[in-house]
């Protein structure tokens, strides 16, 4: 029940918001927890996780575009290594490294328009998302 | 104890930060949990929740104004539907969809100046906030 | 086990990102929790907490610099008191007031490059961080 479960992701673009709804729902169901809390944690520093609208894909596109405008790839960054990904780290902090979901009747509780998005800010890469489900 | 509780809100402005302290404290008390964690989750995609200063109302005003400056309502957004609320979704991600609070002695633990704010970014609307309190 | 534990911090600059990894790991170990969740909560309104890269110190410098550029200290803020810290409150909301960590084998689970940072936005000050560890 309380073990750490893992989702693996292969991102395809540098900046890409990838829905995790189906995988998270599957892990919650497999956990056997009826009423509880689901913790979704990203163990990376140039990626994050958020909950936002999943019905219209232009919302995720607008979020990615605005983050790219606020934190452009080129800039007076000190973290000027081979990867050139200072902007990715900053965006990861703005999105956040985890989300929590309430679990009820064996499923994550999401609003009508909500989806869970893995936020790739420095892809394409193979990534991991850690999930734990606890009883309330 | 572990059931999901709900707060309903009627926002009055398009962008409005509304204190939830009293309702959250009441729900924690009603739960009977002495020591634990309180999860506050917003099931909407154009609203969020944050913890910040509640003593001086100008702090919330400044936060709302700065978010409006960073993410203006007008812009080259693709999510250009009848509601014109791409900015609201982006602000929701910057604020976040949930906060956690520690519970001790049957009450939420908040710093001297802290309040919990529902962040309306696309009001006026009727909104819901979901709350679960678990024992530590 | 489930008691609230505390880390005290003395910041030295106005804007300073301070690693909490060692203290959090020590508190998790002391709690005796093998498998669970660790909640890290900042009870202040001009400081926050985040998880990001801790290996190269320039990442934290870039994050602080970008936040300072997006939310400059001088501006048309209403919260214009003696402290002049409207920007600090806004940055606290962008960083967030809490992080959660999964705990496994008696230790916080962090990715290879991840560190937990207390985000001082209005130092130097004496600050507190509250930590609770619960079994999964």
Q: Who's near B63: CB < 8 A, 6+ residues apart? A: B17, B50, B52, C89, C90, C93
- Mean confidence (pLDDT) of chain C: 96
Local confidence band at C136 (pLDDT 50, 70, 90 cut-offs): confident
Which residues of chain B have a CB within 8 Å of the CB of A100? 39, 41, 98, 100
pLDDT at C56 (0 to 100): 94
Q: What pLDDT score does A80 carry? A: 75
Say which residues have a Cβ less than 8 Å from residue C5's Cβ, sequence separation at least 6: C27, C30, C31, C130, C131, C132, C133
Mean pLDDT throughout B2-7? 93
Q: Is the pLDDT of residue B82 over 80?
A: no
Candidates B117, B6, B109; CA nearest to B60 is: B117
pLDDT at C81 over 90: no
Rg (CA), chain B: 16
CB pairs < 8 Å spanning A and C = 91
Measured CA to CA, the distance from residue C103 to residue A98 in angstroms comes to 14
Whole-angstrom distance, CA of residue B5 vs CA of residue B1: 10
The tens digit of pLDDT for each residue in B85-113 reads: 999 999 999 999 999 999 999 999 999 99
Number of domains in chain B: 1
Q: Which residues contact A127 (CB under 8 A, 6 or more apart)?
A: A8, A9, A10, A11, A42, A44, A47, A118, A120
Name the residue of chain A whose CA is nearest to B86's CA.
Answer: A59
DSSP codes, C33-97: -SSEEEEEE---SSEEEEEEE-SSHHHHHHHHHHHHHHS-SSSS-S---TT--HHHHHHHHHH-S
Range of the domain at A125: 5-135
Q: Which regions in chain A score pLDDT beneath 70?
A: 1, 82
| Residue C51 with chain A: CB contacts under 8 Å | 45, 97-98
- Residue B51: the pLDDT is 98
Min Cα distance B44 → chain A (Å) is 6
Instruction: Yes or no: say if C32 and C95 are a contact pair by the CB < 8 Å rule.
Output: no
CA proximity to B67, closest of B93, B43, B98: B93
Strand ranges in A1-136 using DSSP code E only, listed in sequence order: 5-10, 16-19, 36-41, 47-53, 98-104, 107-108, 114-120, 126-135
pTM of this prediction?
Answer: 0.98
Q: Which residue, chain included where needed, has tokens 């009293």?
A: B22
Chains near C with 3+ CB pairs less than 8 A apart are A, B
Token pair listed for B91:
């602000």
pLDDT grade, residue C125 (50/70/90)?
Answer: very high
Q: Residue B135: is the preceding peptide bond cis (ω within 30°)?
A: no
Mean pLDDT to the nearest integer, C54-75: 96
Residue range B124-133: average pLDDT?
98
Residues in A closer than 8 angstroms to B86, CB to CB, are: 58-59, 62
pLDDT band at residue B72 under the 50/70/90 scheme: very high
CATH number at residue B93: 2.60.120.460
- Other beta carbons within 10 angstroms of residue C107's beta carbon come to 16
Coil vs helix vs strand at C111? coil
Chain B residues within 8 A (CB-CB) of chain C? Answer: 35-37, 50-53, 56, 58-59, 61-63, 65-66, 70, 94-96, 99-102, 104, 109-114, 134-136
What is the pLDDT at residue A70?
98
Lowest mean pLDDT among A77-81, B26-30, C56-60: A77-81
**Tens of pLDDT, residues C30-40:** 999 999 999 99
Note the pLDDT tens digit of each residue in B37-46: 999 999 999 9
Whether residues A58 and B80 touch (CB distance < 8 A) is answered with yes
- In this predicted structure, what is the pLDDT of residue C74? 93
- The answer to whether the CB atoms of B52 and C93 lie below 8 A apart is yes
């Amino acid at each position: 029940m309380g073990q750490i479960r893992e989702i693996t992701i292969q991102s395809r673009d540098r900046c890409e918001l990838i829905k995790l709804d189906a995988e998270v729902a599957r892990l919650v169901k497999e956990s056997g927890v009826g009423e509880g809390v689901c913790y979704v944690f990203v163990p990376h520093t140039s990626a994050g996780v958020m909950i936002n609208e999943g019905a219209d894909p232009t919302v995720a596109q607008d979020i990615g575009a605005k983050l790219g405008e606020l934190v452009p790839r080129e800039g007076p960054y000190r973290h000027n290594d081979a990867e050139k990904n200072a902007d990715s780290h900053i965006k990861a902090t703005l999105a956040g490294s985890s989300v929590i979901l309430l679990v009820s009747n064996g499923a994550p509780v999401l609003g009508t328009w909500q989806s869970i998005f893995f936020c790739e800010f420095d892809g394409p890469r193979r990534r991991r998302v850690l999930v734990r489900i606890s009883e309330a």
